[in-house]
């Protein structure tokens, strides 16, 4: 994945967390961790860039709502848990391609940082009830017009969190809605009507129903 100059300018102008600059204070650097195919420090690879540096990787992991980010030369990883052993800093002897003053891991090592003030949805979210819903009826005013590979509370909540909504709603097993007000309240029995299996999500979550929307309060926490 290549980062364009325009994309970086736009991100720097709009980021509320980093303000265009990631503050590499000592307390945010977690150390140099072993990282190879036999055991990764952070489990999600998100980007590779020939000008990789901490700010670029942090911006990607902010989008993915992760607690940590780590760099190995041109590669960026994210995760909520550090999964390998802490090593001496001298193992992370590669300089960042986009900032030679910074360390970007080693041959089998990852330079790991903690994200600043990462805000994520509280899950499972508090349910406000199951309500009668039709495709031509508005209960929460914003419909997320995106094709999701899977649907879940997490998927929908993260989509609505981007726009700072108070509520999110699930319907038909695969539809996500957001809003600051519940516009039509016609309660239905949750077990009977909000019982559609979430699309491609195999952990027992329900995502509303064919004529019903389950609405949740969108609470957040910092990690």
Q: pLDDT for 81-103, tens place per residue?
A: 999 999 999 999 999 998 888 88
Distance CA 149, CA 199 (A): 8
Segment 96-144, tens digit of pLDDT: 998 888 889 999 999 999 987 667 899 999 999 999 999 888 999 999 9
DSSP single-letter state for residue 198? P
Structure tokens at 61: 């992991």
Contact in structure between 206 and 196 (CB atoms under 8 Å) = yes
- 170 vs 203 pLDDT, higher one: 170
| pTM of the full structure | 0.55
Tokens in use for 53? 């540096």
Cβ 97 vs Cβ 3: under 8 Å: no
Q: Find the mean pLDDT for residues 191-205.
A: 93
Interatomic CA distance for residues 130 and 82, integer angstroms: 38
Return the pLDDT at 184.
Answer: 87
pLDDT tens readout for residues 159-170: 999 888 999 999
Tens-place pLDDT, residues 6-51 = 334 333 433 333 333 445 555 588 999 999 988 999 999 999 999 9
Closest CA to 193 of 174, 208, 177: 208
- pLDDT band of residue 2 (cuts 50, 70, 90) is very low
pLDDT in tens, 63-80: 888 889 999 999 999 999
Contacts 24+ apart (CB under 8 A), 57-64: 58/18, 58/22, 58/113, 58/115, 59/11, 59/15, 59/18, 59/22, 61/115, 62/15, 62/17, 62/18, 62/115, 62/118
């Amino acid at each position: 994945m290549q980062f364009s100059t325009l994309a970086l300018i736009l991100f720097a102008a709009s980021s509320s967390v980093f303000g265009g600059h990631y503050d590499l204070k000592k307390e945010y650097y977690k150390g140099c961790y072993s990282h190879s195919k036999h055991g990764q420090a952070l489990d999600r690879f998100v980007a590779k860039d020939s000008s990789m540096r901490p700010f670029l990787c942090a911006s990607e992991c902010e989008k993915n709502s992760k607690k940590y980010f780590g760099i190995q030369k041109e590669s960026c990883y994210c995760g909520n848990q550090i999964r390998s052993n802490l090593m001496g800093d001298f193992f992370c002897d590669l300089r960042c391609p986009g900032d030679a003053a910074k360390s970007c891991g080693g041959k089998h090592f990852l330079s790991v940082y903690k994200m600043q003030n990462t805000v994520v949805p509280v899950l499972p979210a508090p349910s406000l009830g199951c309500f009668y819903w039709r495709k031509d009826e508005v209960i929460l005013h914003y419909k997320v017009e995106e094709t999701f590979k899977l649907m879940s509370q997490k998927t929908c909540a993260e989509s609505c969190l981007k726009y700072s909504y108070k509520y999110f709603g699930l319907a038909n097993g695969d539809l996500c809605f957001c809003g600051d007000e519940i516009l039509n309240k016609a309660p239905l029995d949750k077990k009977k009507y909000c019982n559609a299996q979430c699309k491609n999500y195999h952990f027992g979550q329900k995502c509303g129903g064919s004529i019903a929307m389950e609405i949740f309060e969108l609470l957040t926490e910092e990690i």
